Amino acid sequence: MIERYTLPEIGRIWSEEHKFRIWLEIEILACEAQAQLGRIPAAAVQEIRKKARFDVKRIQQIEGQTHHDVIAFLTNVAEYVGEASRYIHYGMTSSDVLDTALAVQMKQAGELIQQKLEQLIGVVKQQARAHRHTLMVGRTHGVHAEPITLGLKLAVWYAELQRHYQRLEAAIQRIAVGKISGAVGTYDHLEPFVETYVCRKLGLQPAPISTQILQRDRHAEYVAVLAQMGATLEKMAVEIRHLQRTEVLEVEEPFRRGQKGSSAMPHKRNPILSERITGLARLLRGNLVAALENVALWHERDISHSSVERVILPDTTIAVYYMLEKMGQIIRDMVVHPDQMKSNLEKSRGLIFSQAILLHLIDKGLTREEAYRLVQRNALRVWEKKTDFLSEIKKDPEITAHLSAEDIDRICSWQKRLKHMDIIFERLGIG
């Protein structure tokens, strides 16, 4: 991921320095396990632990000749360790190091994302509570439907983000698996104890079974969860973009002091963060396709997945982390315009009460078809002549035969429509 979208704490997880540090720890832990089994001298392990080092530039220099990153790494480490280096990587294959280290990195990145997601959930919850009774119009197909509150809209996001937290927790658990089982996963030159020992020290579970690699359904699930999360963040971003349109202007992204909206038009206040989140969500979906393609490899292993993962795993985790950070800023500091919400509610000239009138006519004994015909007839007149819905139905003798003017005024009350809002919030634990 380019630096523009890379926050330092998650960028460090995918640095070459951090990756090689994990590789080195895996190799040393494997030596410790071998020593406990009596396969290598304990003194050699002590010497390896004391002397083992690496230099990123030197590894890259060696890899330029060997065209093999693990061999280049081992060669560089051996330059520091000396004679005892012959015990390093004993009985292991490259993927024992690569896949186990990758699991550590994915677990670490996932836990950082989990923390950032938890922060966003808290911000959304706080704003949902604050705007529980901030009245606005609900829209379906982009058209005015019935009254809702801004708090309800935020509460929907809150519940969805909680589901993502649960999915991510499961995905981290599923990816936190290592393998030290040798060339095709048969432990021919290793004891399973080595795998168990290394994984336990790294905070991983040993894979119940593997080939030369961990199976890539695990990685695809992990990317799928992050892509799903990105889709929700995009949904939130698209909603904010719509609500910030000049014709709507109910909610705006924060606009910072000194910020500029357009190089040509000084008046512009554009939803640039929401649009950025929308764009990055597209990358996540593309990365998911690549992750799914990686599941089907030849026989016990090929490396067609390797080049893909070097891009999509860092990029996906870094992008999601950035998106969560930016969405948190948007929700925490968003500008809400309740007066504009009220003005927009009134633009449909009372049509949002059509269902309430429909249901009360049914209660009075009309069939649904007959009640619908009467209400729609008046609603169409409002659309066409730009009149007022309540005035029209009060003039319709077929309606007033069943509902008085007082009944109509009582039915078409704003607050009466939101009487169950507290129940919804209590169900979500927003309280």
Residue owning tokens 């360790």: 81
Question: Which residue among the candidates 68, 262, 343, 391 is catalytic per the annotation?
Answer: 262
Encode 301-325: b = buried (16+ Cβ within 10 Å), e = exposed: beeebbebbeebbbbbbbbbbbbbe
Rounded Cα distance between 141 and 250, Å, is 18
Rounded Cα distance between 318 and 112, Å, is 10
Distances (CA, A) of 12 to 67, 82, 317, 323, 373: 25, 30, 12, 17, 64
- Residue 18 falls in the annotated catalytic set: no
Question: Which residue among the candidates 141, 267, 299, 420 is catalytic per the annotation?
Answer: 141
Q: What are phi and psi of 251, to 5 degrees?
A: -140, 145
Rounded Cα distance between 91 and 33, Å, is 12
Rounded Cα distance between 97 and 95, Å, is 5
Strand-pair partners of 136: 148
- Residue 133 falls in the annotated catalytic set: no
Could you list the active site residues?
141, 262
